[in-house]
Structure 1
Amino acid sequence: MSKNASSRAGADLTRRPTDNGVVLSVLEGFSLIAAVVFVGWLLAQTGIFGRDEQRMLARLTFWVGSPALLFLIVSRAEVGVIFSGFLIATVVAVAVCAVVYLLIARRVLRRRWSDAVMGGMAASYVNANNLGLPIAIYVLGDASWAAPVLLMQLLFLQPGWLAALDATRAAQVSWVRVLKLPLTNPLTIGTVLGLVVNLSGWVPPEVVLAPVELVAGVAVPCMLIAFGISLRLSPLPGRETGLAEPAAVVGVKLVLMPVVAGVVAGPVLGLRSEEVLAAVVMAALPTAQNVYVLSVAYNSGERLARDGVFLTTVLSLPVMLVVMALLG
């Protein structure tokens, strides 16, 4: 299903898992990712890198590496992968999880709307960039699986949640601000440009592709090192505030979302086995780190967002191992 989308500056974007067994393959992919994350953790532990370096790596990834990598991935991906039943299964899973968490937060936990909305974002917004791209490459064997999820989140999910947060803070939502968000996001720009090139059939000349491939090579290592630094510098979930909300986020994100994605992709839509597997694995990704960033910016649900990111990140590995063992 994938095209020749290898990057000369970095990893092979269409690398297939080995044939040494499903569990061994996923462990190999995760061990590679974990090794680079550990480099970031070690740099923070020794004091060589700190918050400033983490922000620098994150900004380099966000503004330079990831847009270039997404451009390459989307421009070389099969259009059927981007607009497919896989995306439908992902969207349905996101919608179901968002609604379920909001109901739990409001009816069971009795939280105010601003906290419920932030928890809903934590339960439905996956880390499709920092971890989704490496996992798609090294576990599923094709980076194209991450592209539809990123596109959906950047164009629709993030603006939608931000509009909901605005609605909890003001009497009137700033729709101009919401509509401008995707247009000013470098990840969206890189993805859309790649989609335009893909649909047009134009093949950029080597003089254009070579620097893009070179820059794209920094994306995965920089994002994983920055993530490792954040794991070391971020505080552990606080025991004094209770675990009811974080547990709800973890349950909805790591259990309900993969189940819904698998049911929609398999029995409902009847997709191929590799599409079902990709849908479930992408749904089992942990909560995106930018959910915590947004919680700080909005001064709403900061503890819940931080705990949700941390717990889902730690617990996503065993969940994915189970998924690969059952569906691989």
Structure 2
Amino acid sequence: MLGVLEGFVTIIVIIVLGVGLAHFKIVDLSGQVLLSRIAFFVASPALMITVLGGTDVSTLFSANLAASIGSVVVTTVLALILLRVVWRRSGAETMIGIFSAAYVNAGNLGLPIAAYALGNASLIAPMLLVQLLVLQPIGIAVLDLTTRPEEADQSRRRRLLRLVGQPFRNPLMIASLIGLILSLTGFQLPRVVNDPLHLVGGMAVPAMLLAYGISLRLGPLPGRGEPPVQIGALVALKLIVQPLVGFLLAKFVLGLDPLGVLAVTVIAGLPTAQNVFTHAVRFDRGIVLARDTIFLSTLGSIPLIAILAAVLG
């Protein structure tokens, strides 16, 4: 447990440093965007290639993956019932709400937590694969079809092809697939390639944490426009229901070891991913719903994950 808590202290210190950099105007929003883009497009893919390439592939397609899928499915179904049946939201708004309740911040926050707090960055891979290969493509397809139903059949075919190929244009997905291929084949990258990847990958975690801290200080506060009960329910699904389902599946159904239970529960308890807001803006649906859920789940996730680490670590 001590090692897990020390890992979280390291993470919090770097996040606080990011908050301080923003507060004292050393770094502004443009700097936060630059850090995030470098982390997303360059450093994180390099980290995933080196980490997954040196990981036994059996640990990726294991009970952890089943527990991650289960936590996403249960949370998605509950969110769907609330949004569509109880609150009568539109199809597109329902999808944004489902994203808000079940799509965890696996890239920006999950990777650092897995690397430093859990001791193995590859532990984030099962949830990352579930989201990039299943949840996101389905969600984007729903948003695309429900917000642009008037387009012609030929255009729809082009959109379908674009949606099918979308996960494979994501840098983290591409890097994860390369890492999986390296793991499956046992191929060792030459040093002239592997060493630069390790160096660049080392930028990923500090860059993401600094950007995260900057965004906490400079990001927008929740505003009015959405019923507080609905926002509260989505945040509760994200921070209570999803990690609880992950814990129950990991411990009592799949019988994972203590580290596996901790990893599944903590990763399921991550806040809503920031790219949910990007999708909301792109399709002009549920923008305030996504923004407020991201903000509140992000604030709530920090003490939650610390508590989970202390209890389960």
The reply to whether TM is greater than 0.5 is yes
What range describes the TM-score normalised by the shorter chain of this pair? over 0.9
Query: What SS does the aligned partner of 1:130 have?
Result: helix
Alignment equivalent of 2:211, drawn from 191, 215, 226: 226
Alignment equivalent of 1:257, drawn from 242, 261, 276: 242
Q: Which residue of 2 aligns with 1:92?
A: 70
Q: Which residue of 2 aligns with 1:274?
A: 259
Q: Which residue of 1 aligns with 2:57?
A: 79
Q: Which residue of 1 aligns with 2:21?
A: 43
Q: Which residue of 2 aligns with 1:317?
A: 302
- The one-letter code of the counterpart of 1:183 is F
- Using the TM superposition, give the Cα deviation of residue 283 of structure 1 relative to its aligned residue in structure 2, in angstroms: 0.5
Residues 1:167 and 2:150 are matched in the alignment: no
Q: Larger % of helix: which?
A: 2
- The one-letter code of the counterpart of 2:258 is S
Which digits, 9 at most, give the CA deviation of each residue in 1:164-195, with x for residues without a partner?
Answer: 11122122762112112112111111110111
Distance 2:54 2:123 in 1: 12
Distance 2:177 2:111 in 1: 17
Residues 1:128 and 2:106 are matched in the alignment: yes
Equivalent residues of 1:26, 1:321 under 8 A apart: no
Equivalent residues of 1:73, 1:147 under 8 A apart: no
Q: Which residue of 1 aligns with 2:281?
A: 296
Residues 1:195 and 2:180 are matched in the alignment: yes
| Alignment CA distance shift 1:240-1:119 (3 Å) | closer
Query: What SS does the aligned partner of 2:88 have?
Result: coil
User: Which is further off, 234-243 or 116-125?
Assistant: 234-243
Q: Which runs of 4+ in 1 moved over 6 A?
A: none
- The one-letter code of the counterpart of 1:29 is G
The aligned length equals: 306
Cα RMSD for the two superposed structures:
1.6
Which digits, 9 at most, give the CA deviation of each residue in 1:14-47, with x for residues without a partner?
Answer: xxxxxxxx3x544422221122122222222222
- Using the TM superposition, give the Cα deviation of residue 240 of structure 1 relative to its aligned residue in structure 2, in angstroms: 5.8
Distance 2:304 2:16 in 1: 20
Equivalent residues of 1:122, 1:305 under 8 A apart: yes
Distance 1:104 1:314 in 2: 23
Name the TM-score, length of structure 2 as normaliser. Answer: 0.92
Equivalent residues of 1:261, 1:279 under 8 A apart: yes
- Using the TM superposition, give the Cα deviation of residue 309 of structure 1 relative to its aligned residue in structure 2, in angstroms: 1.1
Equivalent residues of 1:71, 1:191 under 8 A apart: yes
Distance 1:168 1:95 in 2: 21
Identity, % of aligned positions: 44
Structure 2 unmatched ranges of 5 or more: none
Q: Which residue of 2 aligns with 1:8?
A: none
Alignment equivalent of 1:111, drawn from 72, 89, 105: 89
